[in-house]
A and B are shown apart, each in its own frame.
Chain A
């Protein structure tokens, strides 16, 4: 437990999956993934739909615990500790590894409350106003909403809502932010804003983003992992490399086919 709460060492890996297999009941959704995520970098996970990208991403903060049939084999190491060990508290994990979802999902409360809530349940005792402002600023939303903090968050546009969700995640001070296709419900301009925001955030947070949009991965990430499906629909990781290498110079045939649009 102490390993989890100690401040980060100089180990450049933020989180690491070792021989991970993920199942839903008898169905093996993901097979034997080994993935080392570099700290304070943006890692993209790409691949055809249904290959288990979301499943892998959710495994990183135990969001899959809510699916009763979910089972996992292998280890996911966070600060050297397997987060699936029986003595690990998933609530604590999710505070330290936040998540932004495919569809913006603000609480039907005010903008202010949306941000304050997570911090409050996590026992934040400092100046809430400052925290809200700081988080909104980091999420590049402050200028747009600072006069309307009491407004219901559902009145914001989709892109604003998604940035609010990012701000909300930042406010609980995670180390890693998981993003599951955060832009798939947004228009191109809002998408660009989020990508810029990710770039800013990557100086202080590790970001893992699932995307089905290859341009986005190529544009916005430092590392890219390419997943695909095998015959039995089990997802596997095909290739993992620095983004520019993977896109310009893929080592595997499957990767090349995929990024050149030949399938998927």
Chain B
């Protein structure tokens, strides 16, 4: 019976060896492809870190050491004010006071003024972290040749001051405070507008909607399709509806607040809310579906109405899952840039947003703006801003994972 099989045992072994060889080759190909994904992540992160730290060549009109014995950053407002008054020319002082009296200016503002007008601190060249670590000789040579008057300093572009300063046209003085506050307010508006509606829709679809009705199926299909619409299309929608058509409300004019345009936090938040709504709904639906039927039956069996069952049994059980999904949706919203460009986030703004009707800038907009500037040093602060953004995202995700794990432990 074995003999009518068309290969002899010996050649069968040969074939088998080849099959195993091919298998091994492909296995390593698959593995390498997987490794590329990880490599990409590593390279991406190191590119960003590489840009955010490194040597800089600094030129200044006045050596800060001659102004004060202590480092300038550590001075109090009063001391800063004295130095300014002592060192600024009459003309410059008058011009500065015209904007805002020295008395009224805060410590950080004064410091900026000092650096800008007196010290005239200028970074003429920056080097990447890798060059700073491994090619110091080259950097020294280049500096000596091209920037003989400059001082070489090691600079962490990401520093506490970077988080506290506002926007500036000079990269060495620019910070992300305004953008951070803008992003926070924006996210807040987004959550407030999208979360209740999203949970409501999910409850409707899971607990009330009969799949036999065409309109319920239409809603479900529509939500799934909306999740795939490019974010820039949401931006166009936001521009047309919130900024333009509803401009009277989103600018605050209808509520008696003086404002010029509908390009406000409110418009952006509502746009972002629409954008993450489908994601929230789909995640919440999954969480609600995971609540066992037996729990509902038990509650119905005690004579509860549908809403009572949902409110006191289904929602509490589903909440951790809903929250996890929401956090993931929010981290999507934090990084979204294109819709904000459309609804008109300002790229240059130095005053912190004060409320829903403020014009604003946001972290990703800031990154975009700095990235597209031709000067290298803007690339450095863009890198620093990206680190800020990624840290925010990673902490959000870690938070989501913690909630998820705690929830898992409870149900098992």
| Chain A residues in the interface with B (C-beta under 8 A) | 1, 5-8, 89, 91-92, 121-126, 173, 175, 204
Nearest CB of A to B228, in Å: 28
In angstroms, how far is the closest chain A Cβ from the Cβ of B7?
6
Using known A-B contacts A89-B20, A91-B19, A91-B20, determine if residue A124 contacts B5 with beta carbons closer than 8 Å: yes
Q: B1 contacts the other chain (Cβ, under 8 Å)?
A: yes
B136 CB to nearest chain A CB (Å) = 50
Q: A89: which of B2, B5, B6, B16 is its contact (CB, 8 Å)?
A: B16
User: Is B9 at the interface (CB under 8 A from chain A)?
Assistant: yes
- A92 in complex: contacting residue of B6, B7, B11, B16, CB < 8 Å: B16
Rounded to whole angstroms, the CA-CA distance of A113 and B382 in the bound complex is 58
Collect the chain A residues with CB atoms within 8 Å of residue B5's CB: 124, 126, 173
A175 to B12, CA, bound (A): 16
Query: Once the chains are docked, how many angstroms separate the CA of A8 from the CA of B1?
Result: 10
- Determine if B298 is an interface residue (Cβ-Cβ < 8 Å): no
The answer to whether B6 and A5 touch across the interface, beta carbons within 8 angstroms, is no
Residue B13 lies at the interface, judged by CB distance under 8 Å to chain A: yes
In chain B, positions 8-59 with a C-beta closer than 8 Å to chain A are: 9-13, 15-16, 19-20
Smallest Cβ distance from A209 to chain B, in angstroms? 20
Asked if A91 contacts B16 (CB within 8 A), the reply is yes
Q: Check B7–A5 contact: CB distance below 8 A.
A: no
How far does the alpha carbon of A44 sit from the alpha carbon of B6 in the complex, in Å? 32
Chain A residues with CB below 8 A from B20, complex form: 89, 91
Interface pair A173/B12, CB less than 8 Å apart: no
13 residue pairs bridging A and B, Cβ less than 8 Å apart: A5-B9, A5-B12, A7-B3, A122-B12, A122-B15, A123-B11, A123-B12, A123-B15, A123-B16, A124-B5, A126-B5, A173-B5, A175-B2
> Which chain A residues border B3 with CB–CB below 8 Å?
7
Tally A-B pairs: CB < 8 A.
36
Query: CB within 8 A of A125: which of B2, B6, B10?
Result: B6
Nearest-CB residue, chain A, relative to B6: A126
A6, A89, A121 — which one has the most chain B CB atoms within 10 A of its CB? A89
List B contacts of A175 (CB < 8 A). Answer: 2
Contacts of B12 in A (CB 8 A): 5, 122-123
Apart from A5-B10, A173-B2, A173-B5, 8 more pairs, CB < 8 Å: A1-B13, A8-B2, A92-B16, A121-B19, A123-B12, A126-B5, A175-B2, A204-B1
Chain A residues positioned under 8 Å from B10 (CB to CB): 5
Distance between A144 CB and nearest chain B CB, rounded to angstroms: 24
Chain B positions 147-178 with a Cβ under 8 Å from a chain A Cβ: none
Residues in B neighbouring A91, C-beta threshold 8 A: 16, 19-20
CA gap between A40 and B225 in the complex, in Å = 60
Main SS class of interface, B: helix
Give the docked Cα–Cα distance between A122 and B6 (Å): 11
CB-defined contacts of B15 to chain A, threshold 8 Å: 122-123
The answer for the CA separation of A126 and B6 in the assembled complex, in Å, is: 6
Is B19 touching A6 in the complex (CB atoms < 8 A)? no
For B16, list chain A residues within 8 Å (CB): 89, 91-92, 123
A175 to B10, CA, bound (A): 17
Chain A residues, Cβ within 8 Å of B19: 91, 121, 123
- Chain A residues with CB under 8 Å of B1's CB are 173, 204
The 9 closest A-B pairs by CB, nearest first: A126-B6, A5-B9, A123-B15, A173-B5, A125-B6, A204-B1, A123-B7, A7-B2, A92-B16
Which residues of A have CB within 8 Å of B7?
123-125
Chain B residues whose CB sits within 8 angstroms of the CB of A126 once the complex forms: 5-6
**Who on chain B is nearest to A123 by CB?**
B15
**Least CB distance, B49 to chain A, in whole angstroms:** 37
**Min CB–CB distance B387 → chain A (angstroms):** 39
Most buried by B among A6, A123, A173, A204: A123
| Bound complex: CA A89 to CA B15 (Å) | 13
Cα distance A108–B11 when bound, in Å? 31
Q: What residues of chain A lie closer than 8 Å to B6, measured between beta carbons?
A: 124-126
- Closest A residue to B5 by beta carbon equals A173
Please measure, in the bound complex, the distance between the C-alpha atom of A5 and the C-alpha atom of B3, giving whole angstroms. Answer: 12
CA distance A122 to B11 in the complex (A): 11
What's the nearest-Cβ distance from chain A to residue B15, in Å? Answer: 4
B8's nearest neighbour on chain A, judged by CB, is: A5
User: With the chains together, A89 CA to B12 CA distance in Å?
Assistant: 13
Q: Which residues of B contact A8 (CB under 8 A)?
A: 2
Chain B residues within 8 Å of A89, by CB: 16, 20
B9 CB contacts on chain A under 8 angstroms? 5-6
The distance from the CB of B168 to the nearest CB of chain A, in whole angstroms, is 58
- Please, which residues of chain B bring their CB within 8 A of the CB of A7? 2-3
Q: Give, as a whole number of angstroms, the nearest-CB distance from B23 to chain A.
A: 9
Nearest A-chain residue to B3, judged by Cβ: A7
Chain B residue nearest to A2 (CB atoms) is B9
Interface residues of B in 212-229 (CB under 8 A from A): none
